[in-house]
Chain A
């Protein structure tokens, strides 16, 4: 994994683009999930109103995060939870290891947690001689392969059945047929033993409810329930922004998250866990810890351009909608979080501007991510803000900087633009064939590898204008329906000056 991180997004993307299976698998999966979301939204009805409500709740919560997080911690403690706060990944890992060592734990079973991936919990546990077992089917597969998840919802999206059969066969010490039922059956049996024997269950946290100090887990397999039911100790890793104020608010999140992620009305399991088992309960953890992680999140607060990042509910809809993700897959982004949200989250969490790689450039800014987002995070705008901040820090590409300086000089004055166009027409002459350029030259190289470039027109529109004007005058004079149109124009202009109409916010 280290090796891939030293490459640029472009280099990793190039490898991905040359991997037929990967491209096809990612395409099929994202399309299926995307269509699931679209039909679930349609079936529910009033999707835009739901989206707006979800955004309002997230915005309200994050704007009062200090209050609600404090309330959550207090209430969880009242329920007997040990609540820990970690300012970065290192602290969170240390807390978890300390708990594990005090319990003399040999095995930790884990349900899916992006935070755990973010802070590399598995490696830390293994280094301390503690076996760490991912129990989500997809996570188990990539753990065996020693890889990172390539999708928030479907972590092993990039592996085919044959590769999975090989991995699991090695794990089983026997040959397993590349048949989904056989492979899943093996994992069920193998992991059931792990669930029953493990000392610690480690979970992520989709939402945390301030009013009762509960954590909420969404899943389809039942592994998160196993992890939070069978082992004697439960450790929950939670990003500090996972809070919602009340159970009532959870209804909105439960309406949006599964539909946006997979198109389900609700995930098969949604579990609200409030403290360790009660004295008379026959199961559930005897001891429960929640580790609340900052790790760069608080840096977004008070930053008008990025605070909304904390609204994210980790549904993966932006990945499924993104045409770039579809072509290059999750690993190309080189971080735990991939796709549009990853492209913004990774640099935003690490505010060391100068070390950002080119991940913010890997977007055509098409806005499909924003359109898909159930809480309306303007990711396409944030990508532009990131690019700007990088330039402001002096870390932009040198060639681009000069190009943009030139842009400024030329575009600030129309006569300069006119002169440049004229010069361009002379310059392009040796390259133009049939009105287009296909030579692989200078800045055009990337373009002409895939397309021909149209030649500059002669004359340009502004040069042609004086002639055109005469023609238009004549046409307009002869027009037959003009009164009606003129009247409409007048009415619309009047409305605008009275501030009752206008053309904004469409």
Chain B
């Protein structure tokens, strides 16, 4: 069974540890994932800005990289959402590519969904004695419908106190190029999000999308706050390391 990692450009370049954590968790269940080197980026930054030719060039690497895979797992609800929601549209005028896109969609899973729905795991046996709050990313929850899976996984972590994030479903203001082009609006949104995060008095903020986490962490640091920001895979991996 060929399970492949779709690393995403953000994790590849900035947060490689997230990819490592994810791969380690899979390995603990006997899944020896592979990493097809052909992959680059799902194309979302260009797609969302309205540059579809550019997005297609990038998306093609994904179609090709994962042709042989049985499952594709990615630590991002947003990138999985891009593939699920927009690849058919992106390749609608190319029959062969369209079929490839259909295949890719069928086998591509966001990390927490893969764990819960495919592997059938909700308790990874982790121990993480901290107050944690969870930010559900918009694309993961709304485009992809990943809502309960991360919570299920977190609920089973020993010692973890999950504090509900007020206005959790509000966007953090990232939105890719939106955060640069409309920086004042985006800044106001992330500032509100951080207010809510700090209100919880949690020690750790956890999420399933690195774009949002990078945005929120960046503003936390900007305000001199040291609260830890982690991807769900990192948290579970760290918690599993304690019990292993």
Contact = CB atoms under 8 A, between A and B. Distances in A.
Interface residues of A, number: 90
A364 B20 CA distance: 29
Contacts, number: 271
Contacts of B7: 461-462
Nearest to B171: A366
A196 B55 CA distance: 62
A475 interface: yes
Given A363-B175, A363-B178, A450-B186, A407 B51 contact: yes
Contact of A468 (B23, B40, B183): B23
A384 B222 contact: no
B56 to A, nearest CB: 9
A455 B221 CA distance: 13
Interface in A454-470: 454-457, 459-462, 464-465, 468-469
Contact of B61 (A361, A412, A460, A502): A412
A400 to B, nearest CB: 7
Interface string B83-126: 01000000000000000001001111100000000111100000
Interface in A326-384: 327-328, 358, 361-368, 370-371, 384
A21 B115 CA distance: 46
Which of A417, A443, A469, A503 gathers most chain B CB within 10 Å?
A503
B232 interface: no
B119 A450 contact: no
A464 B20 contact: yes
Given A407-B51, A450-B186, A489 B175 contact: no
A473 B32 contact: yes
B105 A503 contact: yes
A140 B192 CA distance: 33
B21 to A, nearest CB: 11
Nearest to A462: B12
A489 B14 contact: no
Given A323-B171, A370-B142, A391-B51, A414 B40 contact: yes
Interface of A: 9-10, 13-14, 17, 323-324, 327-328, 358, 361-368, 370-371, 384-392, 396, 400-401, 404-405, 407-408, 410-414, 417, 421, 424, 436, 438, 443-447, 449-457, 459-462, 464-465, 468-469, 471-473, 475-476, 479, 481-486, 488-490, 492-493, 496, 502-504, 506
20 contacts: A10-B184, A366-B175, A368-B171, A370-B142, A384-B50, A388-B50, A388-B51, A414-B40, A438-B222, A446-B182, A450-B183, A450-B186, A454-B14, A460-B12, A485-B29, A485-B119, A489-B1, A489-B71, A493-B70, A504-B105
